[in-house]
Amino acid sequence: MGYGSEQVDIDRGLVGHRATPLGDSPFARNAPAIGIAIMYGLASIVWLSAGQALPGGRWLVTHLFTLGVLTTLLWSFSRNFAARFTGGGDLREPVAATWALALLLGASITSMVTGRAINAHWPLVIGTVGIMFVIAMNVVTLRRLRARAHNDRFVWVVRRYENAHVLFLISAGLGGMLGAGVVPGEIYLGVREAHIHLNVLGWAGLTVLTTLVVFGPALLRVRIEPGAEKRASDAVLRAMFGLGIGTLGLFLRSLGRSIGDGAEGPAMLVLAAGFAIYLQAVIVVAMPLLRACRAHDRSPLRWSLAAVVIWLPVGVAIDLALLVVGRQSWNVGLAVALLIGVFAQLILAVLLYVTPMLRGRDFASRDVLIARTERLARTRTATLNLGVVLALVADLTPGLTTTFVEPLMRVGWLLVLLAAVAHLVVILWPLGRVDPEQVRSTAAARYRNPPG
């Protein structure tokens, strides 16, 4: 048989294979949380675009994202990954229970942010209790999965997820105390900054660091370099201890400032040492992934992932520098570096990765969806990251007048919003007609190339 006949047989087999219906997606249980997160993401865009025209202001936008988007997805994906990394492959709970927990979390977040926006006490309390209940229940789920693990390789991943969940509960408790007005003035600033850091660097940071170690290579479609996993697992543990030391320093600095006479000096050393340890751990995790992004072009998501692993140490370094010089660290620039440059960008990359598996019910449909992620991938990523850079320059560069700062900030946020909307269009646009014989994505084309 000649080469032409062999290629015809290969194409026929691939066409039939591409049109065959597929089973459940490995990310099917994430679907309700993804839907809730997308709705909160759209709400965040609306509130951010409206400025002061809508109630709640900057506080509400921040919590719409950190709770509605970030917390919802961290809760959902930590469950999914923990089940797979422990060898169980499934949560062993009814699908209805997963939906119920996701809806309870979404409703609790709505109650909490609504109560805060309109200064209503009971919706705030009920929402906070509901959020903490769902997260606490997930700690039990993670412990159960770890107890019945079929292999030991990734048990550390589940343990770090548990630690991050506990830090979220501590952070939520501190936030509740701040909202209730029971925190003494002498330590109010320290409690506030501890709440922020335990939430952003603890709950989100530790979960993301842990997940990057084991899921980052999948996003890049590569194998990570030998030994990187062990170094990274040790680094995530150091990051947790560094965060604990740094948080203690925040409390001590607040007390020292209330005492006066230079009493905050030793606290600054504790604070700086703790967050320096955290920063070093972040760099250990980031470097192998950054090298993989540079060395391989198998995934259109490599641009986003490269930006994430650059912004993460940069954001932590900015935070550390601001803490050392005594400037309030949670400002617009740092919020953009971490919340947008790291977490929002990583969320968009993960959603682009899972969308073909969620929406494509055969390989031809997945090919269409993958092709969309490949189209203008660099442009979308460059637009988002240019927006982050402009916002940082506007916020952190000394000596800039209001004449320059305000336009830079507006343009930066506009670019971020445009990039976010463009990503959501790629994720949500209707599938349309699919031709199994037409190959659209570079990824699918690799499998149709003739042998040899």
* Tens-place pLDDT, residues 148-203: 888 788 899 999 999 999 999 999 989 888 877 788 877 888 899 999 999 999 99
* Tens-place pLDDT, residues 79-106: 999 998 887 667 778 999 999 999 999 9
* Tens-place pLDDT, residues 325-380: 877 666 776 788 999 999 999 999 999 999 999 999 889 999 999 999 999 999 99
- 125, with CB counted inside 10 A (0-12, 13-18, 19+), is middle
Evaluate if residue 139 carries a pLDDT over 90: yes
Average pLDDT rounded to a whole number, residues 44-66: 86
Evaluate if residue 16 carries a pLDDT over 70: no
* Tens-place pLDDT, residues 252-287: 888 887 776 666 788 899 999 999 999 999 999 999
* Tens-place pLDDT, residues 224-253: 778 888 899 999 999 999 999 999 999 888
Evaluate if residue 14 carries a pLDDT over 70: no
Structure tokens at 353: 């990765």
Q: Sorting pLDDT into bands at 50, 70 and 90, what band is 124? A: confident
Structure tokens at 350: 């993960």
Q: Sorting pLDDT into bands at 50, 70 and 90, what band is 445? A: confident
DSSP per-residue codes, 293-337: HHH--S-TTHHHHHHHHHHHHHHHHHHHHHHHTT--S-SHHHHII
Distance CA 415, CA 426 (A): 17
- Pick from 205, 210, 208: nearest CA to 233: 210
Average pLDDT rounded to a whole number, residues 5-29: 66
Distance CA 213, CA 209 (A): 7
- 442, with CB counted inside 10 A (0-12, 13-18, 19+), is middle
Evaluate if residue 11 carries a pLDDT over 70: no
Share of the chain above pLDDT 90, in %: 57
Distance CA 324, CA 302 (A): 33
Evaluate if residue 58 carries a pLDDT over 60: yes
Cβ atoms 80, 27 nearer than 8 A? yes
Q: What is the pTM of this model?
A: 0.91
Distance CA 378, CA 357 (A): 22
Evaluate if residue 9 carries a pLDDT over 60: no
Q: Sorting pLDDT into bands at 50, 70 and 90, what band is 35? A: very high
Evaluate if residue 26 carries a pLDDT over 60: yes
Q: In the chain, where are the structural domains located? A: 29-159
